Structure 1
Amino acid sequence: METILDRINAHKMAEVALRREQTPLSALRDSADYAAPRRSLVAALRDSTDYGIIAEFKRKSPSQNDINLAADPAAIAQGYAGAGAAGISCLTDGAFFGALPTDFAAVRRSVDLPLIRKDFVVDPYQLHEARAMGGDVVLLIAASLSAAQIADYTAEAHSLGLEVLCEVHNEEEVGRLSPEVDIVGVNNRNLKDFSVSIHNSIRLAELLPPGIPRISESGIEDPQAIARLRRAGYRGFLIGTYFMREADAGRALADFVGQVRTIEDLYDGAIA
């Protein structure tokens, strides 16, 4: 049975082939941002005093439909930065997530945080696109790639100075991980029925390779969940829809971090 991910990947392959014809690799390498210095998300997560929140900019998704189609990427990115985000994830897929061609550039020009180019990577050409955009991190989705592809794409990304966030959903995908990826993300969303549960991150935690920073993604809307996931070894949390559907996404992030801090203080006090 064809899944939404199958449809997205098929569309992406055709889309990337067209873009490669329109903008050859040589043109990407000649772009101004291709030569710009990169920022480390690994370091930002390690040094974060606000729980390693990676705040996401997205306009819609297949599971949520329209989230905030009129969102201003520059204003939201600045709000996120001011509220203590460790990094920002920015969707660049237009067909399924409603990204505008100018979104990533607007975010990049607005903040100096590590920036994830979040898309569905099916071709190494997209890694060069991410560098040309001024991205710092690329997302590799294990459900879309073989173990050999993950290893090869990771090596290519590293040669371009990019960090790699590799996303897994289940045990089988954990087995495809390359030890060279920089960050492992566990997605709490079931790609077959779109159900979401943070128990997926907790369940997979003991299977993840030690020594690689881990983050939890999708369905995180309760500050209590951050406390639970931190106990399971997670040091970063990718959150998008929860903030994007609010009138002031930056304020929503600041309030969320404040609530997590209160919970953590209570927990520390209880075990002192």
Structure 2
Amino acid sequence: MSVLSKIVETVRHRVRKQREKVPVEEMKIEPVERKSLTEKIETNPNTSIIGELKRTSPSSGVIREDFQLPELARSIAEGGAVGISVLTEPVYFDGKIEYLREVSNSVEIPVLRKDFIVEKYQLYQTAASHADSVLLIAEILDEELPEFVALTKELDMEPLVEVRNKEQAELAEDAEAELIGINNRDLKSMEIDLSRTERIINSIPEGLVTVSESGIENRHDVERVTQAGADAVLVGIAIMESTDVKRKVLSLTGDPHG
């Protein structure tokens, strides 16, 4: 069984328990003013960086011991990031759903929930946690993707649909996704290949906003994927490993002060 299959199985089991405890009908989804990640990317004069908050990962182990969420979120925002991705998966990434509201209360930029969304219940959960956007993985959802994209929009959030090949990119387009993430990491082998962005991006129609994800370590990597056509870059480990998070984000955006 691949790492992805194990994670999905674990998530399904957890979501079933959560749904039994708090059904959708009992969930309070407050009307909040959501921020558009797409708009931030399209209007940003510098390179658009989405900084990711994650403590651990299956491929890297513990990434950051000192995980002070509000402080890290503010440093990422002050570094010029257009958004913040928050890992909420608890077993493999040591995340918490509560992190979303904590980060939303700390910064003015859009907050993206990054998790393994397998049930629609999680979308209601995400909306109730004040997130602005949510990651949907085409490889997991497959033919269910259009329903998940539609419900995400119905709940006033933006779906970032993650793909890793041309077939999944077509699936995302057919699902009417407007924000497409290209994952440079193979979710089954966990290997990283930045050329994945270069190979897939030409199959994504003009007008859609593209984000290159995973394996970006420095400004050189950022320039490589943006020159290929990526509109934004999502960076996690390189930021989390930095002793000066704000300066690291500034350097990735190409800001001369970084």
Q: Which residue of 1 aligns with 2:16?
A: 17
Q: Which residue of 2 aligns with 1:256?
A: 252
1:204–1:66 CA distance, 2 compared to 1 (3 A) = same
Q: State how far apart, in whole Å, the 2-side matches of 1:20 and 1:239 are.
A: 32
Q: Which residue of 2 aligns with 1:187?
A: 183
Note if 1:153 corresponds to 2:148. Answer: yes
Q: State how far apart, in whole Å, the 2-side matches of 1:159 and 1:205 are.
A: 27
Note if 1:117 corresponds to 2:117. Answer: no
- Offset of residue 133 of structure 1: 0.4
Three-state SS of the structure 2 residue aligned to 1:111 is: coil
Three-state SS of the structure 1 residue aligned to 2:131 is: coil
Q: State how far apart, in whole Å, the 2-side matches of 1:99 and 1:167 are.
A: 19
Three-state SS of the structure 1 residue aligned to 2:177 is: coil
Worse-matched range after superposition: 92-101 or 9-18: 92-101
Q: Which residue of 2 aligns with 1:95?
A: 91
Note if 1:73 corresponds to 2:72. Answer: no
Q: State how far apart, in whole Å, the 2-side matches of 1:61 and 1:199 are.
A: 22
Residue type of the alignment partner of 1:114: P
TM-score by length of 1: 0.89
Report sequence identity in percent: 31
- Offset of residue 101 of structure 1: 4.8
Q: Which residue of 2 aligns with 1:170?
A: 165
What does residue range 1-272 of structure 1 map to in structure 2 within 5 Å?
2-28=1-27, 30-31=28-29, 34-147=30-143, 149-177=144-172, 178-257=174-253, 260-261=254-255
Worse-matched range after superposition: 218-227 or 135-144: 218-227
Task: Please give the per-residue CA displacement for 1:127-149, whole angstroms capped at 9, x wherever unaligned.
Answer: 111110000111100110123x1
TM-score by length of 2: 0.94
Three-state SS of the structure 2 residue aligned to 1:110 is: coil
Three-state SS of the structure 1 residue aligned to 2:101 is: helix
Residue type of the alignment partner of 1:95: V
Residue type of the alignment partner of 2:37: L
Q: Which residue of 2 aligns with 1:265?
A: none
Task: Please give the per-residue CA displacement for 1:90-136, whole angstroms capped at 9, x wherever unaligned.
Answer: 01101010114542222111012111011100011111111100001
Q: Is the 8 A contact 1:202 1:232 kept in 2?
A: yes
Residue type of the alignment partner of 2:213: E
Q: State how far apart, in whole Å, the 1-side matches of 2:150 and 2:168 are.
A: 19
Residue type of the alignment partner of 1:206: N
Residue type of the alignment partner of 1:142: A
Q: State how far apart, in whole Å, the 2-side matches of 1:27 and 1:115 are.
A: 24
Q: State how far apart, in whole Å, the 1-side matches of 2:176 and 2:188 are.
A: 28
- Offset of residue 179 of structure 1: 4.5
Residue type of the alignment partner of 1:225: D
Q: State how far apart, in whole Å, the 2-side matches of 1:91 and 1:69 are.
A: 15
User: Which protein has the larger Cα radius of gyration, Structure 1 or Structure 2?
Assistant: 1
Q: State how far apart, in whole Å, the 2-side matches of 1:160 and 1:250 are.
A: 32
Runs of 4+ with >4 A deviation: none
Q: Is the 8 A contact 1:174 1:207 kept in 2?
A: yes
Q: Is the 8 A contact 1:69 1:98 kept in 2?
A: no
Q: Is the 8 A contact 2:242 2:248 kept in 1?
A: yes
1:67–1:202 CA distance, 2 compared to 1 (3 A) = same
Residue type of the alignment partner of 1:242: A
